[in-house]
Amino acid sequence: MNYPMWDVPVIGSGWVIGMIAIFHVLVSHFAVGGGLYLPLAERKALKEGRDDWMEAVRMHAKFFLVLTLVFGAVTGVAIWFSIGLASPESTSTLIHNFVFGWAIEWTFFIIEITAALVYYYTWGRISNQLHLTIGYIYAGAAWLSLVIINGILTFMLTPGSTWLSVAGSGTEPSAFWYAFFNPTYWPSLILRTLVCVALAGVWAMVTASRIDGFEKPQLKAEILRWSTKWLVPAFTLMPFVFVWYLWSVPESQRQLLQLGVSTIGAGVFTQVTRAALVTVMTSATILGISYFLAYRNPRDFTFGHACSVLFLALAATAATEQAREMLRKPYTIGQHMYSNGVRKSQVAGFNQSGYLSNSPWAQGSNETGRLMFKGQCLSCHTVDGYRSMRSLLAGRDHDSIANVLKTLHQAGDDSPYKAYMPPLVGQPTEIEALTGYLTEMVRRPSAPAAGDN
Amino acid sequence: MSESSTTLPAAPLDEPSTRRTLLRVGLGAAAAGYGAALAYPVYRYLATPVERAAEAGAVTQISIPKTDEPPAGSALMLQFGARPAMLIHHADGSLVCFDAVCTHLGCTVQFEPDQKRIFCACHSGVYDMRTGQVVGGPPPRSLGVYHVEATDGDIIISRV
Amino acid sequence: MATSSYPGSEPRPSSGLYGWLDQRLGLEELAAFGRKKMVPLHAHSFWYYWGGLSLFFFLIQVTTGVLLLVYFRPGPDAYNSVRQITYDVEFGWLIRSAHNWSANLMVLAVFVHMFSVFLMKAYRNPRELGWWSGLALLGVTMVFGFSGYLLPMDELSYFATKIGLEIPAMVPVLGPLIADLVRGGPTVGAETVQRFFALHVVVLPLLFIPILMFHLMLVQKHGNAVPPSEEAKDPAMRRAIPFFPNFLAKDLAMWLIALNVVAILASMFPWSLGPQADPLTPAPLGIHPEWYFMAQFQFLKVLGRIVPGLAGEFVGIGLFTAMLAAWALVPLFDTASASQRKARAATWFGFCAIGAVVLLTVWGYWEV
């Protein structure tokens, strides 16, 4: 452990990333899909000589610019900060492997930003053809940045056997392209592209909903109808690509979807049921509202409806992204690094020579139990909030907690935790200190949180 | 109040029929998916006792302690999985066990030692007390028979 | 939504199943009536949906409530049966969580509906009876919430009910007698669950449904009220959409979204079940009534501090009753023909009431 842990009370550091990332996903996928939407809408308006369309597209471009360049870029940087703080080890591994990849992405990103600014500010000032070309350049650069980042994202779930064979040898970059075009690369790229196109339609529905349907019924109806069609590819192809994606994930990880929701009624409600329930319901609602209101009855489609569709899209995205994160447990980098930053290859060594003696930031401290807790539990658990240790261990005494930790430490095939929790590493004295620390934590009386009924 | 039926662009009913079919299929699938997402939890919720009973019914063998053995010439009603069973201790010392559900309409049958028969009071079905075969009345089939084995301390009843 | 949602679209030919039903039920007449009925459209139209949302949450309550009845056992076994529903029966926790979440959302929707009706002045003549029946529905809804909260009989619900019953117990002279009758004895126990259960699943629905019918009938008779800002407009400038199919489609979309919200909340944030209620264990810290009783509770608590003792109880209950009465009787004060001054006073009263409720609720949670 080269870095100290980031302690975020109540929600835990994972949710800091989660909250930023869900928002970023909505905006960044819009940045890609919307990039294609704008020039295509502009082309249609030019071809049909529709000035009112042109004005509406321009308004959408303004909204697009503010949302993607400001919020998209800010949340993108925020993800960097939060992952650097929450899982420094895996961030470091990613940088060591993909620094070249990020350099390429950065190039596309610069082209993307420049093209977006030029596109908006040259509106009506340069020839239509050139303006359209700039729009296409934007669309291409934006999509290519997805092409690059997708390699890195999918790598974390499925690094692939070639990269794993050189992992830890110091020559990992030699397997760069194997790591990049890893087993889930293609299905994920197509999935994300479909999401981009669908979100372009959803966001366009948001701006189009603000057109007054009584004053400009024709315009509102046309734009809304044209925008809803952007949902069609996603709704027809997504189920198939999703099956392909799941099929590319190793069997051991797929089984995690059978895991019950650990907090309540374990075994009766698996992750896959939960994700499927939310995704199916929200997707069907989006389809229903898009068709029956936006398409069939565009005049009555309000800003509120558009926001609801957006909210439901957010819920569906959050549910599926969370299921995808779930698939990766107990690793941050599949088969290589556990979620608390311990490498699979280090486990035996840490058990031998001690966990904290290998943690530079923990030298000279005598709070072994607390530091063990920070180092190995805190990346997924909190004391009182999300996956609360206090409530998960409630009612257990010293011996009982010692037993749980023993199971975690041995991580045998019969361990119920093995599928989703890293093994607990360290020498017996360190584990004993952690036992004492947790026992003390559980024994301290605590007030139930307000509203916790 | 303004008139509602402002002129809107042509209703999308004149679309090519293949596209309309696709749309209908898509909407139908979405509605079916939504309905299933609602119905599945409710079905499982209501069906839980049924599932539990089926699990209990999957029992292939039960055992009772020898001390619970009925006196010779009498029967003991017991639960085999989800169904009632009848363990008869005949006067000659032999043990037989039947599925105690009448094959006619599912009433629970009774052992009548004085009449030397198994009788169903619902429609006067009569079974042989040693083999379970139909002797009289409406039952279409003989009673199900279990295998009985007496060990040192227990009586073990199992599916044949 | 099978019919075309286009205004002015042709009525369907009377054939097939629809035709068969139409001849017997007069569906076309109903649809024609719905097409003729107009719903005003303006900047505050959003608030029109909250009444419908309240109704929808009530329907979810009825459905999930009936499902819970399948396994719930009132009386001494209450806790165990809820434990069984939560941990043992497949998806039982989902049904229970949906019932809980939808209950809270229903109370929220009813409150939003009431405050928006107040601020849009939709209580003015001839809609006074709508206002009063709505208040009655709110009252029944809150008793629904209070009685339902106890039924699981876990630690939190036990102590929260105990505390909640301090409010009726504060009624001078008769208070203790009322509280004893409600509890079925001097303490909250199996007897209380049994009578709360009877109240929750039989008495309250029997009260609620007729009042609801009356309320809906009045809405149908008088139509949606428009706020003063719309009344001030030139009638030619006002907009409206037909109830059928346009408003209905939007209303159904709202319901669908609400159903999604319930499903997401229930599956992502399932309701937990605490340890079994035990009168002998000390109350856990931070026990408080449900959020929709917090303002009232805090009000009485604060007044009790200012005016201690029996006098405080009299003053508290007196003031509380007076304010409730003023709130209920506002249609008699701010009538359709009332002066500008009176209308403004009523609006201020509304904003102050919302402010006070929010403030007291936050204050209450602050002190927990």
What digits encode the pLDDT tens for the residues A55-95? 999 999 999 999 998 888 899 999 999 999 988 989 999 99
Determine the structural domain holding residue A217 and report its residue range. 12-334
**A328-338 as b/e, with b when 16 or more CB fall inside 10 Å?**
bbbbbbbbbbb
**Whole-structure pTM value:** 0.81
Overall fold of domain C17-287: Cytochrome Bc1 Complex; Chain C (1.20.810)
- Give the mean pLDDT of chain A: 87
Residue C11 has pLDDT above 70, yes or no: no
Q: Looking at the structure, do residues A323 and A371 belong to the same domain, yes or no?
A: no
Of A281, A289, A448, the CB nearest to C284: A448
Task: Return the pLDDT at C72.
Answer: 96
What is Dmax (Cα atoms) for chain A? 79
- B61-158 architecture in CATH? 3-layer Sandwich (2.102)
pLDDT of residue C9 exceeding 70, the answer is no
CA A451 to chain centre: 29
> Into how many domains does chain A fold?
2
Is there a domain that residue A339 lies in? no
Q: For position A445, what pLDDT does the model report?
A: 56
Q: Which residues of C touch B48 (CB under 8 A)?
A: 88-90, 92
Q: For chain B, what are the domain ranges?
A: 17-58, 61-158
Nearest chain C residue (CA) to B51: C90
* Residues A372, A329 share a domain: no
Residues of chain C neighbouring A263 (CB-CB closer than 8 A) = 270, 272
Domain finish residue from A315, A334, A353: A334
Greater pLDDT, C10 or C59: C59
CA–CA dist A302, A237 (Å, integer): 28
β-sheet bridge partners, residue C40: C240
Q: What tens digit of pLDDT does each residue of C298-319 get?
A: 888 888 888 877 787 778 888 8
DSSP letter at A334 equals T
**A263 pLDDT above the threshold of 80:** no
The one-character DSSP state at A65 is I
Highest mean pLDDT among A196-200, A380-384, C172-176, C336-340: A196-200
Residue C300 or A48, more confident:
A48
Contact B11 C8 (CB under 8 A): no
Whether A374 shows a pLDDT value over 50: the answer reads yes
State the average pLDDT for chain C: 88
**According to the model, what pLDDT value does residue C309 have?**
76
Q: From the list B8, B22, B27, which residue is nearest A299 (CB)?
A: B8
Contact with chain B for residue C10, Cβ under 8 A: no
Mean of pLDDT values over A415-440: 89
My answer on whether A177 and A222 are in the same domain is yes
Nearest partner of A207 among A193, A226, A191, A192, judged by Cα:
A226
Residue ranges matching CATH 1.20.810.10 in chain C = 17-287
Residue C12 is predicted with a pLDDT of 53
Predicted local distance difference test score (pLDDT) of residue C110: 97
Q: Within a domain: residue A50?
A: yes
- In DSSP terms, which residues pair with C154 in a beta bridge? C276
What is the spatial distance between Cα A404 and Cα A400, in angstroms, rounded to a whole number? 6
- Tell whether the model's pLDDT for residue C230 goes beyond 80: yes
A348 and A328 in a single domain? The answer is no
Coil, strand or helix: which one is B126?
strand
Query: Could you count the other beta carbons within 10 Å of the beta carbon of residue C126?
Result: 12
**pLDDT at residue A129 in the model:** 93
Does the pLDDT of residue C6 top 60, yes or no?
Answer: no
Which residues of chain B are modeled with pLDDT < 50? Answer: 1-7, 10-11
Q: Does A4 map to a domain?
A: no
B interface residues, C as partner, C-beta within 8 Å: 1-2, 4-5, 8, 11, 13, 37, 41-42, 44-48, 51
Asked if residue A3 has pLDDT above 60, the reply is yes
Pair A277, A390 in one domain: no
DSSP letter for B88, please. Answer: E
Q: Which of residues 230-289 of C touch B (CB under 8 A)?
A: 235-242, 246, 263
Same-domain pairing of A328 and A385: no
